[in-house]
Structure 1
Amino acid sequence: MSDAPSLDDRFAAAMGQCLGPDFPSEIGLAVSGGGDSMSMLALAHNWTKRWGVRLRVVTVDHGLRPGSADEARLVAEECRVLGWPHDTLNWQGWDGQGNLQDAARRARLSLIDGWRQGMRDVLFAHTADDQAETVLMRLRRGSGVEGLAGMAQIREAGAMRVIRPLLGERRDALRFYLRVMRIPFAEDPSNADEGFERVRMRKLLGALEEAGLGVDALTGTAQRMARAAEALKARAADIAARLTRLDWGQIVIDRDGFAETERDTQMRLLAASLRFVAGGTYRPRADALEALLDGALSGRGGTLGGAALHVEGGEMRIVRELNAVEETATEAGTGRLWDGRWRIEGPEINGLTVRALGTRGWSQVTPKPQLGPRFRQALSLPAVFRGETLVACAALGFGPAHTCRFEGPAPSLARFVLSH
């Protein structure tokens, strides 16, 4: 008789590692109706009997296949039987352009983030097979350490935490569990569509397994790469603390110190600066980042991911790209953030329009500032207008005193590097 832990025991251990020892009172589950997510629903249901945590279940119906609504109803019925609340969210945002699977994934995260209503943790049913496929896809694209680290078991997605308790489990083991427990599930026909890159990688894995380069080898590599990524992240955070400062939501980098830093850390600092300033969810593509870095080291600027890089004197400055915010406007004093990160209010400006300073606003600033952001660096800063007349720009010391607070993703670039 085998002494190996059961799937339920392994799931409980993974949940303890991800969420313990003080479990939240409520967690969410993203359940599509496929085999992996229906296994997760059953395992989580059994796990709650011991820990008393409440479950809330959500299904995102992307509306891309005729049977997707039936799959959502299958999940709803299983949740009714188990006694857990279930919601179906419908996505109607596909315009036929770009990468369908990537667009669907982004939409799924966004919809679930809006659904969770303050609940922090949401379980996703990614498996070891999914991890191996991800590593293969990223290897094909020439990814570095972070890419080859694959998916993290715990990922911060804004205020939501994505938890993957099945990341160490094989898909076959989950299917066996479903059959033994007689749990219903749906087969997604798109899993056989070789028009999708992930499906092609899935089929390739079968051949690679025979050569010893299967799921276990690839997931083992991902784990080692994840450890290396943590060490490299710590190095980048240390350099960021020494070489960078935050100035009105812009990142200023000491140019000489940056030039003396090893290239991998340069790439990390530049990528983190772009994301910090522009609010990007993902790191820029390696080739585009390399090109921007080469330009910066030779004294040229450039734009990438909604941010712009300026090289002047002994500094490199990462600012918000004007084109990305030129049409963005909000009303001062309403509590709404301009560009998702600036809180602007004050008795003499409330009710007026907040938008980027731009060239027209800059032309009205008198006298021009001697310190801080210069002309090109200042154009995307928040300013307050009455019609076309500039009333205030706190960053340039212009106009009546008011609150202009940057509520960015972290108090410093070093903290941002460590947390993303």
Structure 2
Amino acid sequence: MTEQAERLRAKIRACLPKTLPARLGVAISGGGDSVALLLLLNEITANEQVTLFAATVDHGLRPEAADEAEHVRTFAQRMGIPHDTLVWTGWDGGGNLQDQARQARYRLLTDWAHGHGITAVALGHTADDQAETFLMRLGRAAGVTGLSGMPTKRLKGGVVLLRPMLGLTRQDLRAYLTERGVEWIEDPSNHDIRFDRIKAREALSGLQDLGITASSLARVAENLTQAREALEVFAQESARKMAKTVAGNVCLDRAAFQILPQEIKRRLLVGSIAWIAGQGYPPRQSAIERALRSVDEGTATSIGGCLLVPHGNKMWICRELNAVQGKIARAGQLWDERWIVTGPLVADAQVRPLGEEGLPQVPDWRNLGQPRQVLLASPAVWVGETLIAAPNAGFSNGWRAELAPDWPQFHSSFLSH
């Protein structure tokens, strides 16, 4: 056991949970970073009650990828580690290839983990990846959240993604593999300057004379992570004081909102939209700025599948009717990805938005004290064109509409997990 190997093991173990899950997944592409991760984790967990499982995602974009996945399978099995190859066939040739491939990779890995009873998957991202991400986001004028980079731990699709090598460089890991006499696969796309990440990698190599290295940028990203976490707590506390939730909508106190620092206003607004419409890419900065002006001025606008509706000294943030138009579910099924509506057994009952046709059939909706636009996109029960119930609009008729069990609580949603 060399001093270098011991140092790498100690750094990785310090970035992992104190108690590892009994079944730990490892994503391995065959590149130097992930090969080193699998080797080091195999050594780290040798004396812990942990079973490792390995998976390789074959994006189907290069003819040699299948052979590379087979090479990785053989490598893993020599260590007694079960291995699966996950094949992606979803690219239609359009859109941002790297972004679609990344999303597919995470989806395949989390599905694989669920299928094997694996609660956490380790990924081979390094300080170099962190630095390259920082430079790419810097070029897009990202704020604190974007520049804080990849977290060491993140929950995605019900699986914990672990990145225990963000404090290590590719050079560290390749030196370890060379010392061990272990070969790795070089993906030719790592030299394709058509990709922004490779451009960032090339740019980074020219900044060393200024003391700007992968390690220094990774430390900057970590500093910004701490700043982001502080801002998240501030945003959460602000939400507790001036925002309340009503039937899946958010009601803001405009006067209290207006005196907040601009960054906290932005976080409170974007967080509310994400909680209502679901996590995804946040709205464009221009749309956020327009929505912030609407809150300040007390005017209506739409953003990210939501409506901002002024009502006295309040601003309601609710689902936009156009965003749910045409969405249909059976009773007890998920509607609009977050509602579950249950009630008496009624043949042919469907859950659809209340809409303009349904609201006039709710006799006492005005007694709720909510703007009509807030109620239009709420879940309702229909049989044909007959409204049976609208639980969130004060017409329950024995029916209930509840947020899905895995939908986050509003105030906790402001914190990264």
Contact 2:368 2:394 in 1 (8 A): no
Q: Alignment partner of 1:369: what SS? A: helix
Q: Residue type of the partner of 1:330?
A: A
Q: Is 1:65 aligned to 2:76, yes or no?
A: no
Deviation, 1:351, is 5.5
Could you tell me which residue of structure 1 aligns to residue 22 of structure 2? 25
Deviations 1:178-209 (A, max 9, x none): 22223232111111111110000000001111
Pick closer, same or farther for the CA change 1:373–1:411 going to 2, 3 Å. Answer: farther
**Mapped partners of 1:60, 1:284: distance in 2:** 30
Deviation, 1:170, is 0.5
Q: Residue type of the partner of 2:107?
A: S
Could you tell me which residue of structure 2 aligns to residue 225 of structure 1? 224
Pick closer, same or farther for the CA change 1:101–1:136 going to 2, 3 Å. Answer: same
Pick closer, same or farther for the CA change 1:140–1:59 going to 2, 3 Å. Answer: same
Deviations 1:350-405 (A, max 9, x none): 76211221222223222433215432111211111111221111011225112321
User: Bigger CA drift: 176-185 or 61-70?
Assistant: 176-185
Deviation, 1:262, is 1.0
TM-score (norm 2): 0.94
Deviations 1:305-325 (A, max 9, x none): 322222222111221222222
Contact 1:34 1:186 in 2 (8 A): yes
**Mapped partners of 2:2, 2:315: distance in 1:** 56
Contact 1:209 1:215 in 2 (8 A): no
Could you tell me which residue of structure 2 aligns to residue 155 of structure 1? 154
Q: Is 1:331 aligned to 2:327, yes or no?
A: no
Deviations 1:138-170 (A, max 9, x none): 111111111111111111224221100111111
Contact 2:166 2:218 in 1 (8 A): no
**2:47 alignment partner, one of 27, 35, 50:** 50
Could you tell me which residue of structure 1 aligns to residue 376 of structure 2? 379
Deviations 1:270-300 (A, max 9, x none): 1111111111234334333223212332223
Contact 1:329 1:355 in 2 (8 A): yes
Could you tell me which residue of structure 2 aligns to residue 283 of structure 1? 282
Q: Alignment partner of 1:116: what SS? A: helix
Aligned CA-pair RMSD: 2.0
**Mapped partners of 1:4, 1:38: distance in 2:** 18
Deviation, 1:330, is 1.2
Q: Is 1:97 aligned to 2:91, yes or no?
A: no
Give the unaligned 5+ runs of structure 2: none
**1:113 alignment partner, one of 110, 114, 117:** 110
**Mapped partners of 2:233, 2:157: distance in 1:** 21
Deviation, 1:5, is 5.2
Could you tell me which residue of structure 2 aligns to residue 364 of structure 1? 361
**Mapped partners of 1:260, 1:355: distance in 2:** 39
Query: After the TM superposition, which residues 129-208 of structure 1 pair with which residues of structure 2 at under 5 Å, given as runs?
Result: 129-208=128-207
Pick closer, same or farther for the CA change 1:332–1:155 going to 2, 3 Å. Answer: same
Contact 1:29 1:56 in 2 (8 A): yes
Give the unaligned 5+ runs of structure 1: none
Pick closer, same or farther for the CA change 1:71–1:284 going to 2, 3 Å. Answer: farther
Deviations 1:210-247 (A, max 9, x none): 22222232112111111111111111111111011111
User: Bigger CA drift: 75-84 or 191-200?
Assistant: 75-84
Report the count of equivalent residues. 415
Q: Residue type of the partner of 1:171?
A: R
**Mapped partners of 1:242, 1:369: distance in 2:** 26
**1:343 alignment partner, one of 340, 343, 355:** 340
Deviations 1:73-119 (A, max 9, x none): 12211121111111111112212222211111111111212111142
Contact 2:191 2:198 in 1 (8 A): yes
| Identical positions, percent | 40
Q: Alignment partner of 1:185: what SS? A: coil
Contact 1:243 1:254 in 2 (8 A): yes
Pick closer, same or farther for the CA change 1:419–1:224 going to 2, 3 Å. Answer: closer
User: Bigger CA drift: 92-101 or 367-376?
Assistant: 367-376
Q: Is 1:392 aligned to 2:389, yes or no?
A: yes
Contact 1:241 1:413 in 2 (8 A): no
**Mapped partners of 2:129, 2:14: distance in 1:** 22
Deviation, 1:13, is 4.1
Q: Residue type of the partner of 1:391?
A: I
**Mapped partners of 2:370, 2:182: distance in 1:** 61
**Mapped partners of 1:217, 1:79: distance in 2:** 33
Q: Residue type of the partner of 1:73?
A: E
Could you tell me which residue of structure 2 aligns to residue 416 of structure 1? 413
Deviation, 1:128, is 0.3
**Mapped partners of 1:339, 1:206: distance in 2:** 46
Q: Residue type of the partner of 1:37?
A: S
TM-score (norm 1): 0.93
